[in-house]
């Protein structure tokens, strides 16, 4: 066996060892990096929601018991189906994040943001969306997170849509099937 053949076998052996170690590392339970939630809040801890939207009315909601009520721009029982995704944002995990001081906030439409969301007293600024996928830049304290964009369209929709629909009772003389 000549030196070239030995070197080829040695390189193949080293490649196999590195591939095996990489596979073991990848399959190791708990290998995934730990990404903390956006806020240290669980939905049950959130008592107030406020949404400032450029060019639109500010939305405000308060938890009263186990129900949410809209307090601005109208008052009434809030549509829980629309409130739940907002509450879930506090627990969202967005692995891509940057220090806010290291990036151009104006370029990402975060200075000033077109939409600001407060969950209790924690502010989240919504900026532009990433050009390559369906993710949006969120500014929280000294970090900018790149998160799936599930809320922006909801938060910029009509304020009246956040009120729970009122179901009128049937008149006493109404009969089914007529």
Burial class of 119 by CB neighbour count within 10 A (0 to 12, 13 to 18, 19+)? buried
- Residue 25 forms part of a structural domain: no
User: Are the CB atoms for 137 and 108 separated by under 8 Å?
Assistant: yes
pLDDT at residue 174 in the model: 62
Q: Which domain holds residue 132?
A: 43-162
Is 13 a member of any domain? Answer: no
pTM summary value:
0.74
Task: Classify residue 143: in a domain, yes or no.
Answer: yes
In a domain, 139, yes or no: yes
Residue 152 lies in a domain: yes
Whether residue 124 is predicted with pLDDT greater than 90 in this model: the reply is: yes
Count structural domains, the chain: 1
Any residues with CB less than 8 A from the CB of 37 and at least 6 apart, and which? 90, 91, 92, 93
Residues in the chain: 178
Q: How confident is the model at residue 16 (pLDDT cuts 50, 70, 90)?
A: confident
Per-residue pLDDT at 3 exceeds 80: no
- Report the pLDDT value the prediction gives residue 162, as an integer from 0 to 100: 93
Banded model confidence at residue 35, pLDDT cuts 50, 70, 90? confident
């Amino acid at each position: 066996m000549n030196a070239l053949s030995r070197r080829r076998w040695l390189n193949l052996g080293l490649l196999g060892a590195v591939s095996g170690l990489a596979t073991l590392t990848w399959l190791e339970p708990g290998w995934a990096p730990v990404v903390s939630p956006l806020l240290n809040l669980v939905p049950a801890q959130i008592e107030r929601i406020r949404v400032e939207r450029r060019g639109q009315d500010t939305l405000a909601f308060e938890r009263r018991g186990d129900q949410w009520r809209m307090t601005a721009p109208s008052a009434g029982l809030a549509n829980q189906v629309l409130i739940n995704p907002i509450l879930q944002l506090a627990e969202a995990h967005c692995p891509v994040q940057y220090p806010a001081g290291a990036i151009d906030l104006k370029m990402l439409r975060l200075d000033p943001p077109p939409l600001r969301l407060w969950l209790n007293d924690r502010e989240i600024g919504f900026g532009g969306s990433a050009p390559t996928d369906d993710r949006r830049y969120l500014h929280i304290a000294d970090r900018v997170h790149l998160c799936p964009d599930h809320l922006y369209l909801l938060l910029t929709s009509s304020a009246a849509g956040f009120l729970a629909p009122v179901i009128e009772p049937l008149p006493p003389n109404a009969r089914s099937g007529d």
